[in-house]
Structure 1
């Protein structure tokens, strides 16, 4: 069963950029915006990361921590983060541990082939670590504004 609205942050730790390991329950005390994306350095994923980067000050003003998650390695994340100057960390979920908690790895068609990939999704946890908002099958345009509007409702 995937995590649903009203449930707590899962007790998952993942390697992240900046030579860190992030234990999700340690994020309590601030709002957490957890966004999942398919792959580093692809057009949609780059645009989404840039949108979060370009609105980073607005998220900070709302005491919100942004974390991006994909199945790419920390090494790939470091290059992606550096190339686009993302001011937030990216988590490497190579074993799909966190992806499975949210049930976001789905069958997709790529060039006529069936593949498994991350369904672009965003989740907001409140300061107590409770899931309050979720967006699945995210379309990148205007998504960050939608997330910011939801943060206003949390305040």
Structure 2
């Protein structure tokens, strides 16, 4: 997907807003896909982005989390974790499909279809300039921040 334009879609996000990548043209942003609100890995990943929020802001780059959870679930997760960024709800897998993050995964010995933890960096022109797939949480946010800082 590298150097492709960010797919076009509109999805609801926390705070009663709509996420529309086209409306973000002129500013860089990070879109991180995660499997589920209030699960251990997703909580740590979100907390790591929260901890570095000032650094992303200093690099003039917004952060957005996205999963298939409902807006209600996202609002509760965001409030509980005090995330300074919005969470995007994609229950119909519109963005998940566009970014190709739906995969078959093993969960307790069963094959289940779910979101592969993935992150995308989109530049000011709306192009995907870096992607991370099959993300392992430890150290990931630092790698994303480093790429963001090289971009700006």
Into which bin does the TM-score normalised by the smaller protein fall? Answer: over 0.9
Correspondence for 1:42:
39
1:105-124, Cα deviation, whole Å (9 max, x unpaired): 10011111111110000000
What whole-Å deviation, never above 9, does each CA across 1:93-112 have from its counterpart, x for those lacking one? 00000000111110011111
One of 52, 59, 64 as aligned partner of 2:61:
64
Determine the C-alpha separation between the residues in 1 that align with 2:66 and 2:34: 6
**Of 121, 124, 133, which residue of structure 2 is paired with 1:127?**
124
Partner Cα distance (1:24, 1:110) in 2: 32
Q: TM-score, normalised by structure 1?
A: 0.96
- 1:25 is aligned to 2:34: no
* CA–CA separation in structure 2 for the residues paired with 1:27 and 1:105: 24
Q: Does 1:112 align with 2:101?
A: no
Aligned counterpart, 1:76? 73
Segments of 4+ in structure 1 off by > 3 A? none
Structure 1: segments with no counterpart, 5+ residues:
none
Runs of 5+ unmatched residues, structure 2: none
Alignment check: 8 A CA contact 2:7 2:99 kept: no
* Corresponding residue of 1:97: 94
The total of aligned residue pairs comes to: 152
TM-score of the aligned structures, taking structure 2 as reference length: 0.98
